[in-house]
Amino acid sequence: MNQFALPLDWPEDEGDADFIVSDANAAAIRHLEHWALWPVPITLLTGPRKSGRSLLGRLFAAKTGGRLIDNGWAAPEESLFHAWNAAMASRRPLLIVADAPPPAWAIALPDLASRLAASPRVAIAEPDDALLRALLERGLARRGLAAPPAVTDWLARRIERSYVAIGAAIDALDRAALASRRGVTLALARAALGGGVIEPSSGMV
């Protein structure tokens, strides 16, 4: 895996180091790298919560001079409609971030629905094994928690393959380490997770 780097001689951004590339997001990155080849200068980027989709959108907007509309499903439909038309007129790229593409995201304005239907779509997937481990290691390190490989391997086999679950597992270990005033060990991890699986919908069970 590599850190996020667009091959267009763009200056490195401080946020680049926060984005880890893997098979789960490589297709989305390749699509954004080649924005000049899009059939229309608009793309809908979707992905799970905590997948880095907003960070990727901010990096894209900063490095292309494009426009980002985050949480697109919550934006007024007329605003999205005008933003789509403005991108077409100016050829300035527009990236709309959402949980899921229409029709899962219901759109009442027919003209907007037809425009989004004509726009390219790209998605970030749930983390693969390599990305899951990398996010666990980085997240624990940022909390000042040095976890042996055995702990990371144990966690990777037991938590749900989701970005939210990764964050929940790190939070649980951080709380346990703080309460016990000791480092992260396999025994601590087992106690923190209660032998269960971290799930995004219900937290730790």
Which domains, from first to last, does the chain contain? 2-123 (3.40.50.300), 129-204 (1.10.8)
Q: Which two tokens stand for residue 1?
A: 């895996």
The β-bridge partners of 96 are 44, 69
CA 198 to chain centre: 18
Neighbours of 80 (CB within 10 A): 21
Q: Which two tokens stand for residue 158?
A: 């037991």
**What proportion of the chain, given as a percentage, has pLDDT over 90?**
69
Contact between 9 and 33 (Cβ < 8 Å): no
Q: What is the DSSP string of 56-122?
A: HHHHHHHHH--EEESSGGGS-HHHHHHHHHHHHHH---EEEEESS-TTTS----HHHHHHHHTS-EE
Q: pLDDT digit string (tens) for 29-40?
A: 999 999 999 999
Contact between 111 and 95 (Cβ < 8 Å): no
Q: pLDDT digit string (tens) for 49-89?
A: 999 999 999 999 998 999 999 999 999 999 999 999 999 99
